[in-house]
């Protein structure tokens, strides 16, 4: 499909879209763009729907808010099951009907679960897969990339910065540039970040010996049982913000620590004391993390940092 051919144009517009979304917060900001440049833009969006009724509601809302007649890639979001025709849910049939009506052009799916991701690819029913992919990818995830490529699907990479844990954008981009079928979506919060990413469109960082060594060091430090911040485990029974609190130790050391040590975050971290060990979160974590234990470890470290017993 044309997805990969459109990669750089797609990235550019996606980033611009995210930037506008966060800073202008006005759908009409997009309307002008879409009316004049629609055919040059690849629009990918997604639905959390679990019923055909909600699917149609979401699709119509997206079309109306973006003031466009069709969506290029419409994705089932955070899939916990791989919807298929005849499975009784009516979900895949809804996608097919939307395609028939010309409201969407391609069918995709997003998931954080490797088993579901494989099923999506093997089903032959989806044209794109959106999955977390960064230089912290495991062997299994690298195999998944190859599988997607072999099935001639588009691979949309979310969490290219591992939810904020990777703080070297050049290394992240150099890693990603090795995968010709991968379309990273980085997410942008500040104008300078947009400029940084756009500069990589002109001069794309490539892997060097030095970069390789840096990434290997990062992999040694970060691979394994760390929280990716995906939020699948939530809501917590007692209201703990698990997706941030469970990786606080890493955030303190890999991002400016001041914000994470604020009164707001101290209160959020204190909530870890309320954990009743119900284990509901553990059943939802795609990485099978022992969340209550990790939370306690993070709280212990956080308090030591607050007391000045540990430096970050
Ligand atoms: S085990 Fe603790 S953190 Fe997990 S859902 Fe229950 S109360 Fe929340
Ligand atoms: S604990 Fe697991 S499910 Fe929850 S945010 Fe972290 S990685 Fe995601």
Q: For residue 72, what is the enclosing H or E element? A: strand 71-76
CA distance 44 to 46: 7
In the chain, the number of structural domains is: 2
For the Cβ of 275 lying below 6 angstroms from any atom of ligand 1, the answer is yes
Cβ of 245 closer than 6 Å to ligand 1, yes or no, is no
Q: Tell me, what's the pLDDT at 270?
A: 98
What is the reported pTM?
0.79
Phi (first) and psi of residue 184, to 5 degrees: -75, 140
> Going along 92-213, which residue ranges are E strands?
104-110, 128-132, 154-158, 182-184
Check residue 255 and report its DSSP letter. S
Which of 216, 231, 251 is the C-terminal boundary of a domain?
Answer: 216
> Which residue range is the domain that position 268 belongs to?
242-306
Asked if residue 117 and residue 26 are part of one domain, the reply reads yes
Q: What is the CATH number of the domain that holds 67?
A: 3.20.20.100
Q: Provide the pLDDT for residue 1.
A: 41
Those residues of the chain that have pLDDT short of 50 are 1-9, 12, 19-32, 34
Q: Are residues 148 and 262 in the same domain?
A: no
User: Which residues have CB under 8 Å from 231's CB, separation 6+?
Assistant: 242, 243
Domain identity same for 147 and 288 = no
Residues 53 and 170 in one domain: yes
CA distance 244 to 36: 40
**Distance from the alpha carbon of residue 288 to the mean position of ligand 2, in angstroms:** 8
| Residue 48, φ and ψ in degrees, nearest 5 | -85, 0
Q: Report yes or no on 233 lying in a domain.
A: no
Residue list, ligand 2 pocket, CB within 6 Å: 227-233, 242-243, 246, 285, 287, 289, 291
Nearest atom (ligand 1) to Cα of 277: 1
């Amino acid at each position: 499909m044309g997805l990969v051919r459109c990669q750089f144009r797609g990235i550019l517009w996606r980033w611009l879209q995210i930037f506008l979304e966060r800073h202008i917060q006005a759908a009409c900001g997009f309307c002008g763009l879409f009316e004049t440049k629609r055919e040059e833009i690849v629009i990918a969006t997604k639905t959390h729907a679990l019923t055909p009724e909600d699917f149609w509601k979401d699709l119509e809302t997206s079309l109306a808010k973006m003031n466009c007649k069709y969506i290029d890639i419409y994705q089932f979001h955070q899939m916990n099951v791989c919807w298929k025709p005849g499975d009784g849910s009516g979900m895949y049939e809804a996608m097919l009907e939307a395609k028939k009506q010309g409201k969407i052009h391609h069918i995709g799916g997003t998931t954080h679960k490797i088993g579901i991701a494989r099923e999506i690819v093997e089903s032959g029913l989806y044209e794109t897969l959106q999955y977390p992919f960064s230089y912290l990818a495991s062997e299994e995830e690298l195999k998944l990339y190859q599988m997607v490529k072999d099935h001639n699907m588009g691979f949309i990479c979310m969490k290219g910065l591992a939810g904020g844990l990777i703080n070297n954008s050049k290394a992240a981009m150099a890693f990603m540039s090795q995968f010709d079928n991968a379309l990273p979506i980085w997410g942008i919060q500040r104008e300078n970040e947009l400029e940084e990413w756009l500069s990589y469109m002109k001069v794309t960082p490539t892997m060097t010996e030095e970069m390789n060594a840096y990434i290997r060091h990062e992999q040694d430090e970060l691979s394994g049982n760390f929280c990716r911040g995906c939020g699948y485990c939530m809501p917590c029974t007692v209201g703990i913000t698990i997706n941030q609190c469970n990786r606080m130790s890493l955030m303190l050391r890999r991002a400016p620590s001041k914000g994470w040590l604020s009164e707001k975050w101290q209160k959020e971290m204190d909530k870890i004391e309320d954990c009743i060990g119900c284990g509901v979160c553990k059943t939802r974590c795609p990485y099978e993390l022992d969340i209550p234990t990790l939370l306690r470890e993070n709280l212990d470290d956080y308090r030591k940092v607050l007391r000045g017993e540990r430096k970050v």
